[in-house]
Amino acid sequence: MPDETGPRPGSLPLRAAPATGLASRPEEAAGLARHGDARPRSRPRLTSRGALVVMVAAFLAGNLLAAGIAHSWPAGLGFAAGCLLAVAYARRESMLLVVVAPPVIFLITLVGAELITASSASALATAEGVLLTLAGTAPWLFGVMIITLVIAMMRGLPSCIRRLGAELAGRPELETASSEVPG
């Protein structure tokens, strides 16, 4: 594969920029341009769906591991990982969903993991596994949800709640005023 960065055969060579030792763009001077990207690097932000997918994956992995080794701590660890990753990397507009959805997603993935790993096909065995795992992970669930709420409050949860209240009350002017960014 030919090198596409160099001059092509038969073309005139480009003039080189003067070697002044200074960066040619302010972004380069600030160290923001890396690998040909002139935009400043920031943490990636998850959409609402992306945050839900992260939680489902982490919760399911933790619940499957917990069911496989017959201990509840991996389920709590998976819950913590999923919640904290989602609240740390989700967009500000997604904070309300990130704090409301984890208990429901955890229960669904727990039932799914119990159904996948159940030694018998009875509903009683599945219910027993779900209840025992919930009892063992209760401290994890409460503690992690409190931490998730605190982080979400710092990342913009109150504005999400105000926006939802404005939408429900039929005041779209509040919604657009709070979501506009001055240019």
In the structure, what pLDDT confidence band is assigned to residue 74 with cuts at 50, 70 and 90?
A: very high
Percentage of the chain beyond pLDDT 70 is 70
Nearest residue to 99 via CA among 45, 163, 146, 50: 146
Provide the β-strand partners of residue 34: 37
* DSSP for 57-103, written as a single string: HHHHHHHHHHHHHT-SHHHHHHHHHHHHHHHHHB-GGGHHHHHHSHH
Q: How many helices (H) and strands (E) does the chain have?
A: 8, 0
Q: Does the pLDDT at position 176 exceed 90?
A: no
Is 76 within 8 Å of 139 (Cβ atoms)?
A: yes
Rounded Cα distance between 110 and 130, Å, is 6
In the structure, what pLDDT confidence band is assigned to residue 175 with cuts at 50, 70 and 90?
A: very low
Q: Does the pLDDT at position 31 exceed 70?
A: no
Which residue shows structure tokens 């063992």? 136
Q: Does the pLDDT at position 174 exceed 70?
A: no
Mean pLDDT of the chain: 79
Q: What is the pLDDT of residue 69?
A: 87
Mean pLDDT of 83-93: 92
Mean pLDDT of 127-156: 92
Nearest residue to 102 via CA among 58, 37, 153: 58
Q: What is the pLDDT of residue 22?
A: 47
Is 53 within 8 Å of 102 (Cβ atoms)?
A: no
